[in-house]
Amino acid sequence: MTSQYVFNQLQPVSLASADEQQAAILSQAKKQVGFIPNMYSNMVNLPAFLDTYLHGYGLFREQSDLTSAEQEVVLLAISKANSCHYCMAAHSTLAANFSGVPADTLAAIRSGEEIADGKIAALYAMAIEVNDSRGRPDPVVVKAFLQAGYSEKHLLAIILAVSVKVLSNYSNHLFNTEVDEAFAAYAV
């Protein structure tokens, strides 16, 4: 699904064309990632937008009490549910190369097939449920999630991830963000 509206006045902001506030945030992002992703160049049009995203994303990574692989599954689930091609490519790259997501799990997520690992399948289902229900998950899905070994604190972490992904997924839709070369191998 493509956006009904795509920004036509707002353009990506490069480090060279950034104002002082934008440059500070882009420089910080470049130090963390090693380059400035196209998504960040778009989001920084409103510096508070990118700053909020980076802050929330960092806190999710630091405080979710989920493994790196589990975090990536959550972020992939939400990005897939929201049809964000940019984030699917970026998080698939992270899943395959840095986060330790098993190849069969990543393939299942990307193709929409069943995830073989029951615990990860419950996590994936919970992330989709929270996203799609707008925070009103079906008690049956919550029960399966808790029975798989997750906690209500993990449910809060998923809500944080949904909040962060709304910022990135929705802005990528409005900007029709081009997938960076670093993520191109996993473009969808």
Task: Say whether pLDDT at 3 is over 70.
Answer: no
Task: Say whether pLDDT at 94 is over 90.
Answer: yes
Per-residue tokens: 41: 């160049």
The residues near 49 (Cβ < 8 Å, ≥ 6 apart) are 43, 167, 171
Task: Show the CA angle centred on residue 27, arms to residues 21 and 33, nearest 5°.
Answer: 135
Structural domains in the chain?
A: 66-186 (1.20.1290.10)
pLDDT digits (tens, 9 = 90+) for 11-33: 999 999 999 999 999 999 999 99
Q: What's the pLDDT at 115?
A: 98
Q: What is the mean pLDDT of the chain?
A: 96
